[in-house]
Amino acid sequence: MLVPVVETIAKNLSKTDNSIGIDLGISTFATLSNGKKFEAPKPLKQNLKKLAKFQRKFVIALRIKVRTFLNPVCAAFRRKTLY
């Protein structure tokens, strides 16, 4: 995996009396002392529909395999080819 590298030059900032505090939390990702809040990323919530779709496809495929395996015609064919 290739990771791009970006080089930057640090700039000296002028000194001010302004400061800000950062509180890292669970319900919100970060809360600043000025009241601004950053929400935590929720990848599971974003992908729940996709997960449900894949689970349905998997169950259907599994049912087809079980039906095929238990089908007497397929079982007779397996006995002939395996033994």
Indicate the SS3 state at residue 20.
coil
Query: How far apart (Å, rounded) are the C-alpha atoms in residues 8 and 2?
Result: 19
- Check the CA dihedral 31-32-35-41 and report its sign: negative
pLDDT in tens, 33-69: 888 898 887 777 778 888 899 999 999 888 887 777 7
- 9-35 mean pLDDT: 83
* pTM (two decimals): 0.38
Work out the percent of the chain whose per-residue pLDDT is above 70: 84
